Amino acid sequence: MYPENITSMLGELKNKIDSLSRQPNMLSHARNKAAAIHSKFDRTIERAEIQNLFRMVEKKEEIEAQKSVYKAAMTMEVLNDKLGLEKDADTLPAKRQAVGSSHSGFDKDEDNSGSSYHREGSEHAELGEIEDMCTEPEEKQGEWFRPEIFMEIKNAIESVRKNPLGHLSPMYYLILDLRPPSMGSPQFRAVQYLSESHLKVIGKRAEAARSSRFDTSRPVQKLLNVVRKTQFLLHNWQLSSRQLAELSSYMRIEGATGLLLRLRAMKDPYPQCRQNTLEELLKEELSGLQSSNMEDLSNSQIVVDLEGVNATTEEIQWIFHVLDQCRRVISSDVLFTDLTERDVDINLVNPFFDTLWEGLHLHYGEGESRASRNRRGGCGDRFDWLFSCNSILPDDVRGVELGVAENSGPRQVNDMEKAQTDFIKAVKTARDQLIQAIKIIKNKCNSEQLPSTFVDGIKALFAIAVNVVGYQVQAHTVYFLGGNVFATSEIGYAKSLDWMHDALDMIHLVLRVKALLLRSKQILQALLTEAMIERSATPVRAQLDAWTVTELNTPQKSSTKSRKMVKPNESCDSLLLRWKVE
Contact by Cβ (8 Å): 159, 122:
no
Q: What is the pLDDT of residue 574?
A: 55
Dihedral sign for Cα atoms in the order 347, 352, 353, 357: positive
What CA–CA distance (Å, rounded) separates 504 from 230?
12
317 pLDDT exceeds 80? Answer: yes
163 pLDDT exceeds 60? Answer: yes
Distances 342 to 418, 436, 481 between C-alpha atoms, Å: 17, 29, 35
Dihedral sign for Cα atoms in the order 489, 502, 402, 462: negative
Q: What is the pLDDT of residue 70?
A: 53
* Cα dihedral 35/36/41/46 (nearest 10): -130
Contact by Cβ (8 Å): 359, 315:
no
What CA–CA distance (Å, rounded) separates 486 from 190?
12
Stretch 8-18: mean pLDDT: 68
What CA–CA distance (Å, rounded) separates 115 from 125?
12
Closest CA to 428 of 66, 171, 106, 93: 171
* AA letter at 502: D
Closest CA to 184 of 372, 427, 365, 369: 427
* AA letter at 139: E
What CA–CA distance (Å, rounded) separates 398 from 393?
9
Helix (H) or strand (E) holding 401: strand 400-409
Q: Comparing 390 with 21, which gets the higher pLDDT?
A: 390
201-257, pLDDT tens digit by residue? Answer: 899 999 999 988 898 888 888 888 877 765 443 444 467 777 788 888 888 888 888
List the beta strands (DSSP E) in 441-549.
450-451, 463-469, 472-482, 485-494, 541-542
The band of 510, judged by pLDDT with boundaries at 50, 70 and 90, is: very high
Cα R_g (the chain), whole angstroms: 32
Q: Kind of pairing, strands 400-409 and 463-469?
A: parallel
Q: What is the pLDDT of residue 546?
A: 56
293 pLDDT exceeds 80? Answer: no
Q: What is the pLDDT of residue 447?
A: 80
124 pLDDT exceeds 60? Answer: no
79 pLDDT exceeds 80? Answer: no
354-399, pLDDT tens digit by residue? Answer: 999 988 988 888 888 888 888 877 788 889 899 998 887 777 677 8
The band of 298, judged by pLDDT with boundaries at 50, 70 and 90, is: low
Q: What is the pLDDT of residue 353?
A: 93
pTM for this model (two decimals): 0.66
Contact by Cβ (8 Å): 469, 408:
yes
Q: Comparing 16 with 494, which gets the higher pLDDT?
A: 494
Q: What is the pLDDT of residue 66?
A: 54
Q: What is the pLDDT of residue 462?
A: 95
DSSP string, 31-53: HHHHHHHHHH-STT--HHHHHHH
Q: Comparing 359 with 64, which gets the higher pLDDT?
A: 359
What CA–CA distance (Å, rounded) separates 279 from 69?
61
Dihedral sign for Cα atoms in the order 58, 59, 62, 66: positive
How many Cα atoms occupy the beta-carbon half-sphere of 287 within 13 Å? 9
96-122, pLDDT tens digit by residue? Answer: 344 333 333 333 333 333 333 333 333
Q: What is the pLDDT of residue 103?
A: 35
516 pLDDT exceeds 90? Answer: yes
Q: What is the pLDDT of residue 98?
A: 41
The band of 139, judged by pLDDT with boundaries at 50, 70 and 90, is: very low
DSSP string, 270-303: -B-PPPPPHHHHHHHHHH-----------THHHH
The band of 496, judged by pLDDT with boundaries at 50, 70 and 90, is: confident
Q: What is the pLDDT of residue 568?
A: 47
77 pLDDT exceeds 70? Answer: no
Q: Which residues pair with 383 in a beta bridge?
A: 367
What CA–CA distance (Å, rounded) separates 48 from 248?
65
What CA–CA distance (Å, rounded) separates 517 from 462?
7
What DSSP character marks residue 353?
H
What DSSP character marks residue 187?
S
What CA–CA distance (Å, rounded) separates 486 from 500?
36
Contact by Cβ (8 Å): 470, 462:
no
Q: Give the rounded distance of the alpha carbon of 500 from its chain centre.
A: 29
39 pLDDT exceeds 60? Answer: no
